[in-house]
Amino acid sequence: MVACVVGGGIVGTLTAHALQRAGLEVRVLDSEDSGAATPVSAGILFCIRDWQQGGVWESLARAGRAAYPGLCAQIESKVGYECRGLLSVSADAANLIRWAQNEGLTHHVLSPQEFRQRYSQLTPPSQDAVLLPDIAQINPAAFVQYWRGHLQEQGVCWERAHVRHVLTESTAAFGVSDGSREWTAEHVVLAAGAWSSTIHPPIPEDAIIEPRRGQILVWRDMDTAELPVVLEGERYLVARSDGTILVGATNEAAGFDAQVTEDAREQLAEFARRWYPDLPNEPAEHWAGLRPRGVAHRPSFGAHPEIRGLYFNTGHYRHGIVCAPETARHVAEQIKFASGMGNPI
């Protein structure tokens, strides 16, 4: 039984992993488009404004946080998995504390004085901050690179292709095409991120995906000892143990334009230096990627309502890193049952 996954970012990679574990023969077709979201993601294992998302986002993020220690076991340094915690500075601190208590997450309230004592590199806020010490992070590009290699060693076929069409007969999918080549499969999973809605036949209206550009600044060789993720509103500063600092992110309606802009650079640099005054004036790198936002403001994962054998796993927006393990598991479970392969994963 063959499953074809369209898209090789973190969502497609973890879908391939779940399908391979389920016993299917798996092929991944990845366009490797510039502007893809995964290579330019910060890797925080937490939904921005997690405690305000509720509903499906909250349950997916909870399951994702629980899955990553296993996915990263014994390869932590290779994929950048580290538990540095997350520090939130927000007027909504009371709701965050209640959410953390409900989730069973440890939290500490730090006064500006305690903040200064712990994090000498950072400018202390004028108000209390909430520290969630158990929030982890990964390096998404390194994570996908490792798992791609591992899955190929396990027999998963990985090819570069810009899929344009799902091949259908009557009401069933039987493969995909890039316009010149065809690949047959009993099951097709669209995990093409911001490009998911460009593949024909059109996906249902409530699952349509639109691209949202996010820009990030990167500094290298900084003092990042003991620093957690700093979250203020929808802006963040992520410190990695290798001395990298990432600051993001913008949220722009720019179509499929993945070019960086000077305006975003100035905004993000101002935020960065407000928190970390010793940062050099010029970042080492400036990234932009296209996040897939569902018009229904929720991810689309599961079976197509009308075409048998066609599945979606897309629309994760800013939360693809943390939510991908659970949506991948869900889609693989559906395909496993549809294939008559017994118990769920």
- Give residue-wise pLDDT tens across range 55-103: 788 899 999 999 999 999 999 999 999 999 999 998 788 889 988 998 8
pLDDT at 47 (0 to 100): 84
Q: List the one residue out of 241, 306, 237 whose CA is nearest residue 278.
A: 237
Q: What is the mean pLDDT of residues 129-146?
A: 97
C-alpha 179/C-alpha 281 separation (Å) is: 47
CA R_g for the chain:
20
> What secondary structure letter does DSSP report for 236?
E
C-alpha 250/C-alpha 235 separation (Å) is: 8
Query: Phi and psi of 147, rounded to 5°?
Result: -70, -30
Residue 260 CB burial class (10 angstroms; 0-12, 13-18, ≥19): middle
- Asked if pLDDT for residue 211 goes beyond 90, the answer is yes
Residue 171 CB burial class (10 angstroms; 0-12, 13-18, ≥19): exposed
Cβ atoms of 60 and 326 within 8 Å: the answer is yes
Question: Who contacts 262 (Cβ-Cβ below 8 Å, separation ≥6)?
Answer: none
> What secondary structure letter does DSSP report for 202?
P
pLDDT at 297 (0 to 100): 86
Dihedral sign, CA of 120, 126, 131, 135?
negative
- 52 or 337: whose pLDDT is higher? 337
The pTM of this model reads 0.95
Assigned token pair, 213: 């550009």
> What secondary structure letter does DSSP report for 336?
H
**Bridging pattern class, strands 310-314 and 187-190:** parallel
Q: List the one residue out of 12, 37, 11 whose CA is nearest residue 27.
A: 12
- 342 or 234: whose pLDDT is higher? 234
pLDDT at 110 (0 to 100): 96
Q: Which band of pLDDT confidence, cut at 50, 70 and 90, is reported for residue 200?
A: very high
Cβ atoms of 119 and 84 within 8 Å: the answer is no
- Asked if pLDDT for residue 50 goes beyond 60, the answer is no
76: three-class secondary structure by DSSP: helix
pLDDT at 251 (0 to 100): 94
- Asked if pLDDT for residue 246 goes beyond 70, the answer is yes
The per-residue pLDDT for range 289-345, each reduced to its tens digit, is 999 999 888 899 999 999 999 999 999 999 999 999 999 999 999 999 988 876 654
- Block residue for tokens 């939510």: 323
- Block residue for tokens 């998404």: 140
pLDDT at 204 (0 to 100): 85
- Asked if pLDDT for residue 166 goes beyond 70, the answer is yes
- Block residue for tokens 């999973």: 189
Lowest average pLDDT, out of 94-98, 123-127, 169-173, goes to 94-98
Beta bridge partners of 131: 87, 108
51: three-class secondary structure by DSSP: helix
Q: Please count the residues of the chain.
A: 345
